[in-house]
Structure 1
Amino acid sequence: MGPVWGRDINAHRDLVIDAYAPLVAAARDAGEESFEAARDIAYGSHERQRLDVFAARRTRRDGDADVVLFVHGGAFLRGSKSFNGLIYDNVPRWFARRGCVGLNVEYRLAPGAPYPAGADDVAAAVAWAQAHVAEFGGNPRRIFLVGHSAGGAHVATYLGDPLFADLRESTPGVAGAVLISARLMADVHADNPNAAGVRAYFGADETRYAARSPLTHAARIDTPLMVVVAEYENPYLDAYGAAFFARVLEARQRAGAAAMNAAMKRAPRFMQMLRHNHTSVVAHFDSGETLLGDAMLDFFGA
């Protein structure tokens, strides 16, 4: 598909999912006997505040595992934790195969749940994980947030927006975050194919977009961070990802050593997934390709 991705991201998204679904299904069916998946656990009162837990039997028995909390995309208006029974289950399942506890989080959508509801739901899911993940073999002090597209915006908002400063301090335990093809700036440019979703979530008043955008608050993030973009990205998302990485890096370079905690002393990581697009960058998990997953595991263990 290559660089034509951006000409029709909806049609091309469907082609990508159709291509990867059989590979993911084969991997699921080959290894399902070693897994126990707990489905549709409530972390809030809304019907979409649900999550699934993936953990191998050995992980449940041994405990103290890293926790990967995945937040799906969907342009703020759509999406679910299990798009077709395969995508996005493939992400937490792949990490569960590697000894982690994988959480797959569904959240409320715009326009019924506008900014900052998505980040509120991330916070609620984190709180649930801290209280319950040990029951599945996870370490509540080793929770890694992974957000794709709109889900990446929600993760980044939770980590950096001043609205969540007190909440972050009262619920420690996030050991790091990976933002994958994340919507880090609210824009409604004419060539933004998801402008309607941006308006629905961030509001009709464009003068408030900067204050509500994760990029504005990037320098506040004090947790280990990895930013991932695809080579063939939705318009502007690769540029926003690079800018986000640069702002976090510059902030940590400027901060005096005495003012930095251990997390802030770690430079953020940046990765461009060559030959991938906005959908395949997550759809490829558990398909046999492991470049990004291996890099993320290395990040978790650094």
Structure 2
Amino acid sequence: MTDTIRNFGTHLGPEVVAAMRDLYAAEQAPLAAAMPPVAVDCAYGPDARNRLDLYRAEESEDLRPVVLFVHGGGFLVGDKGGPESWANAHVGRWAAANGMVGAVMNYRLAPQNVWPSGAEDVTLAVEWLRANVAGHGGDPDRIFLLGTSAGAVHVSAFMNAREDHADLVRGAALLSGLYGVTPLDERDMRYYGPQDCYALRMPLTAVMETRLPLFMACAEFDPPRFQTEWASMLQGRLGRHGRLPRAHYASGHNHYSMAMHLGTADRRLSNELLSFFTEHS
């Protein structure tokens, strides 16, 4: 499996996404049939994309921690998945299988929706969960955010937009995000606008300064830009706070496989995330 991933190197694109889905389908697809969502298309906001699904393994009298997953897609594509499409929905099932309530959200996409729509949608989803998740077995005071790629950016932007973010969620796990260390590329501008808007709109300051517990990861075969962002944020937070945030280097994985493999036999990232959530629950 690692050789299959290694052969793609650090390339991004639809063909790599499709190959990674094929790579994990044998493990992930059966789980989709075994654990359907307990609530589908919950409207957390007014837009048609403001929908989330909830996953829970079994009923319990005790309220459980909640993990809200924010998918990637370069600001332009992506979907929460569901019974017919395991990708992204699998993170909700993974959370549920590990004793939590999993929430998987859609959000508005560029170019029709631009900055700061992602932060606004994460905020709306968090507020909806705080008001409603107890009715589905989740603890509104123990919500964690887990974002990958563009989803990690939107989670970070939520922290930047809400000064009270540490009162709303317990922690944030950021997988292969872009926080403002490296320059924009053309794709990013379809969400952020021109290069001269970049410094004001990226969540660099929030991620650097927040006291919210953070988990930050990148992959061995992430493109160098993503690795630069990760390494720079670790160094910056070490200088500012005197210690590193919790961090993970996903050896043998690429930009897409890192989130896609959650719930499979490779439990390295899974164990680190579960330990992080338990520590701060």
Distance 1:8 1:129, change over 3 A: closer
In structure 2, C-alpha distance between the alignment counterparts of 1:207 and 1:77, rounded to whole Å: 21
**CA offsets 1:246-296 (integer angstroms, 9 cap, x no match):** 32333222xxxxxxxxxxxx8511111000000100111222222111111
Residue 238 (structure 1) shift: 1.5
Q: TM-score by structure 1 length?
A: 0.85
Residue 110 (structure 1) shift: 1.0
Answering whether residue 227 of structure 2 is matched by residue 229 of structure 1, we say no
Preserved contact between residue 221 and residue 248 of structure 1 (Cα < 8 Å):
no
| Residue number in structure 1 paired with 2:153 | 153
Corresponding residue pairs, total: 274
Preserved contact between residue 188 and residue 199 of structure 1 (Cα < 8 Å):
no
In structure 2, C-alpha distance between the alignment counterparts of 1:68 and 1:227, rounded to whole Å: 16
Secondary structure of 1:236's aligned partner: helix
In structure 1, C-alpha distance between the alignment counterparts of 2:134 and 2:261, rounded to whole Å: 28
4+ runs deviating over 3 angstroms? 186-189
Distance 1:15 1:187, change over 3 A: same
In structure 1, C-alpha distance between the alignment counterparts of 2:189 and 2:48, rounded to whole Å: 23
In structure 1, C-alpha distance between the alignment counterparts of 2:162 and 2:140, rounded to whole Å: 20
Range moving further from structure 2, 84-93 or 177-186: 177-186
Residue 208 (structure 1) shift: 1.9
Distance 1:8 1:226, change over 3 A: closer
| Residue number in structure 2 paired with 1:196 | 186
Preserved contact between residue 202 and residue 209 of structure 1 (Cα < 8 Å):
yes
Answering whether residue 11 of structure 2 is matched by residue 21 of structure 1, we say no
**CA offsets 1:99-123 (integer angstroms, 9 cap, x no match):** 1000001100111211111011000
| Residue number in structure 1 paired with 2:41 | 40
Residue 23 (structure 1) shift: 1.4
Listed as ranges, the matches of 1:1-302 within 5 Å are: 1-2=5-6, 4-7=8-11, 9-29=13-33, 31-32=34-35, 36-58=37-59, 61-82=60-81, 85-159=85-159, 161=160, 163-165=161-163, 168=165, 172-185=167-180, 195-204=185-194, 206-253=195-242, 267-302=244-279
Q: TM-score by structure 2 length?
A: 0.91
Preserved contact between residue 245 and residue 269 of structure 1 (Cα < 8 Å):
no
In structure 2, C-alpha distance between the alignment counterparts of 1:24 and 1:4, rounded to whole Å: 21
In structure 2, C-alpha distance between the alignment counterparts of 1:284 and 1:78, rounded to whole Å: 20
| Residue number in structure 2 paired with 1:263 | none
Preserved contact between residue 181 and residue 232 of structure 2 (Cα < 8 Å):
no
In structure 2, C-alpha distance between the alignment counterparts of 1:187 and 1:267, rounded to whole Å: 20
Secondary structure of 1:74's aligned partner: coil
Matched letter for residue 80 of structure 1? D
Distance 1:9 1:36, change over 3 A: closer
Matched letter for residue 17 of structure 1? R
Unaligned runs of 5+ in 2: none
Range moving further from structure 2, 218-227 or 92-101: 218-227
Residue 217 (structure 1) shift: 3.3
Unaligned runs of 5+ in 1: 190-194, 254-265
In structure 2, C-alpha distance between the alignment counterparts of 1:47 and 1:15, rounded to whole Å: 29
Determine what percentage of the aligned residue pairs are the same residue: 34
Distance 1:67 1:188, change over 3 A: same
In structure 1, C-alpha distance between the alignment counterparts of 2:236 and 2:109, rounded to whole Å: 28
Residue 91 (structure 1) shift: 0.7
| Residue number in structure 2 paired with 1:257 | none
Distance 1:267 1:62, change over 3 A: farther
In structure 1, C-alpha distance between the alignment counterparts of 2:196 and 2:175, rounded to whole Å: 26
| Residue number in structure 2 paired with 1:261 | none
Secondary structure of 2:112's aligned partner: coil
